Chain A
Amino acid sequence: MKLSITLIFGALALAQDWTSYGNNALGWRYSELDQINTENVARLTPQWMYQTNVPGKNETTPLVFDGMMYVTGPSNNAWALDAMTGRPIWSYKKALPANVNLCCGQVNRGFAVRGNTLFKVDLQGTLVALDAKSGTVLWESTLEDYKKGYSATSAPLVVKNLVITGMAGAEYGTRGFIDAYDSDTGKRAWRLSTVAEEGWPGDSWKRGGGSTWITGTYDPALNLIYWGTGNPGPDMDGEGRRGDNLYTCSLLAIDADTGKIKWHFQFTPHDLHDWDAIGDPVLTDLVIGGRTVKAVIQANRNGFFYALDRTNGKVLVSKAYTRITWADGIDADGRPIVIAGQEPTEEGKRTCPGMGGGHNWQATAYSPQTGLYYFTSTERCMLFYKTKQEFVEGQWYQASTIGRDEPGNGRIEAIDPKTGKLEWFFETVTSPTGGMLATAGGLVFAGDAEGYLIALDGRTGKVLWRFQTGGTIIAPPISYALNGRQYIAVAAGQTMMTFSLPRF
Chain B
Amino acid sequence: MRVTMIALLAAACCHAQDAAEKGRWTFRIFCAPCHGIHADGGRGPDLTLGTYSAGDQDADIFRVISRGVAGTEMAAYSGRMSDDEIRGLVAYIRSVSHASDKSAIRGDAGAGEAIFWTKGGCGQCHRVGTRGSSLGPDLTRVGRQRSLAYLTASLLTPDADVTPGYATVTVVTRDGKKIVGVERNFDNFSAQLVDLSGKYYSFEREDVQSMKREPRSLMPSTYGQLLSESERNDLLAYLSSLRGGR
A interface vs B, CB < 8 Å? 347-348, 385, 387-390, 392, 396, 398-404, 406-407, 428-429, 448, 450-452, 454, 466, 468
Contacts and interface: CB of A to CB of B under 8 A. Distances in A.
B161 to A, nearest CB: 8
A400 B37 CA distance: 11
Contacts of A402: 33
Contact of B188 (A399, A401, A407, A450): A450
Contacts of A407: 215
A429 B33 contact: no
Contacts, number: 52
Nearest to A454: B188
B213 interface: yes
Interface of B: 22, 25-26, 28-30, 32-33, 37, 42-43, 80, 82, 185-189, 213, 215
B35 to A, nearest CB: 11
Contacts of A404: 33, 42-43
Contacts of A429: 186-188, 213
Given A385-B32, A429-B188, A450-B187, A347 B25 contact: no
Nearest to B38: A347
B32 A401 contact: yes
A448 B187 contact: yes
B215 A452 contact: no
5 contacts: A347-B37, A385-B37, A450-B185, A452-B187, A454-B188
Nearest to A427: B188
A428 B22 CA distance: 41
B146 to A, nearest CB: 15
Which 10 A/B pairs are nearest by Cβ-Cβ distance? A450-B187, A387-B28, A388-B25, A401-B32, A387-B25, A401-B29, A401-B28, A428-B188, A389-B25, A448-B188
Contacts of B213: 429
A9 B30 CA distance: 58
Contacts of A466: 189
Contacts of B32: 385, 401, 403
A450 B188 CA distance: 8
Given A390-B22, A396-B29, A403 B188 contact: no
A481 B31 CA distance: 50
B80 A385 contact: no
Contacts of B37: 347-348, 385, 401, 403
B237 to A, nearest CB: 28
Nearest to B212: A429
A452 B29 contact: no
Contacts of A401: 28-30, 32-33, 37
A454 B25 CA distance: 44
A113 B82 CA distance: 41
Contacts of A428: 188
B29 A398 contact: yes
A216 B121 CA distance: 59
A351 to B, nearest CB: 16
Given A385-B37, A452-B189, 12 more contacts: A390-B25, A399-B29, A404-B42, A429-B187, A429-B188, A429-B213, A448-B187, A450-B185, A450-B187, A450-B188, A452-B187, A452-B188
Contacts of B186: 429
Contacts of B42: 404
Contacts of B33: 401-404
A448 B43 CA distance: 27
B40 to A, nearest CB: 13
* Residue from B29, B30, B185, B213 having most chain A Cβ neighbours under 10 A: B29
A274 to B, nearest CB: 13
A406 B216 CA distance: 11
B59 to A, nearest CB: 24
A406 B215 contact: yes
A450 B213 CA distance: 15
A396 B29 CA distance: 10
Contacts of A448: 187-188
Contacts of A454: 188
A403 B28 CA distance: 10
Given A403-B37, A404-B42, A407-B215, A389 B29 contact: yes
Contacts of B26: 389
Contacts of A390: 22, 25
A231 to B, nearest CB: 16
Nearest to B24: A387
A448 B186 CA distance: 12
A398 B189 CA distance: 37
B86 to A, nearest CB: 14
A466 B190 CA distance: 12
Contact of A396 (B43, B80, B185, B187): B80
A190 B9 CA distance: 57
A124 B185 CA distance: 38
B70 to A, nearest CB: 20
Contacts of A403: 32-33, 37
Interface-central residue, B28, B30, B80, B185, by most chain A CB under 10 Å: B28
B118 to A, nearest CB: 35
A116 to B, nearest CB: 40
A248 to B, nearest CB: 20
A385 B26 CA distance: 13
A402 B22 CA distance: 19
Contacts of A399: 29
Contacts of A348: 37
B168 to A, nearest CB: 14
Nearest to A426: B188
A388 B29 CA distance: 9
B92 to A, nearest CB: 12
A399 B22 CA distance: 12
A454 B189 CA distance: 10
Nearest to B43: A404
A454 B190 CA distance: 14
A175 B188 CA distance: 40
Contacts of B28: 385, 387, 401
